[in-house]
Amino acid sequence: MTAREIHFEVSEKAGKVSGLLLRPDNARSLLVLAHGAGAGMCHKFMEEMARKLGGLGIATLRYQFPYMEKGSKRPDPEAVLVATVRAAVTTAAEHARGLPLFAGGKSMGGRMTSIAAAQAPLEQIQGLVYFGFPLHAAGKPAATRGEHLLKVSAPMLFLQGTRDTLADLTLLKPLCRRLDNRAELFVVDGGDHSFHMLKSSGRTDDQALDEIALKVSSWTTRRMS
């Protein structure tokens, strides 16, 4: 599979950003996949996850936020990030050719997707997938960053490692319970915020990503209408 580069406009002020569309021949759905704060759409995690999902029949549209497109390390204001999510979803719908659509992202990318969905439903999106949801800053456990999730109407899948310093599971689990049947939490035993595994776990990073991809595949399949 070879990813195809595309470009789309966020707004007149924010300009255009790049995206990578990876669509296997047997695609059954398409996931709009946003990157985390510190690394763009070509980061190893993004590349590997797109490849593994593609092998399971899930097409992906990875994309850059404007600050990353410009080579900056400082994330854009929230309004610009949210606008980028919406523009990416619109672009994905144009390329999906009838495929069911899902959206989400790694860390900040997933959170910005959730904020966009909380403000107004993302058109055509059948579910949201969060790879390492950043519930709080490292060493500062709190659940306030997740309050907006109560306004999200779409089904949500949280994929979290037990060693994730940005999501204390004793806080995330009660939050997911408050979301009732809209949310499912899938815990990767031994994984950190990027699902890196300790050697003592007996599992490799690649095995953890395989597990995550399989979960995303089964979860999205159940939610296709």
- One digit per residue, the tens of pLDDT, for the chain of length 225 reads 789 999 999 999 999 999 999 999 999 999 999 999 999 999 999 999 999 999 999 999 999 999 999 999 999 999 999 999 999 999 999 999 899 999 999 999 999 999 999 999 998 999 999 999 999 999 999 999 999 999 999 999 999 999 999 999 999 999 999 999 999 999 999 999 999 999 888 899 999 999 999 999 999 999 986
> From CA 82, how far away is CA 223, in angstroms rounded?
24
- For domain 4-222, the CATH superfamily is Alpha/Beta hydrolase fold, catalytic domain (3.40.50.1820)
- The answer to whether 113 and 87 are in contact (CB under 8 A) is no
- The answer to whether 171 and 141 are in contact (CB under 8 A) is yes
Query: Using CB atoms within 10 A of its CB, is residue 173 exposed (0-12), middle (13-18) or buried (19+)?
Result: middle
Closest CA to 111 of 74, 78, 155: 78
Neighbours of 198 (CB within 10 A): 11
The residue ranges of every structural domain in the chain are: 4-222
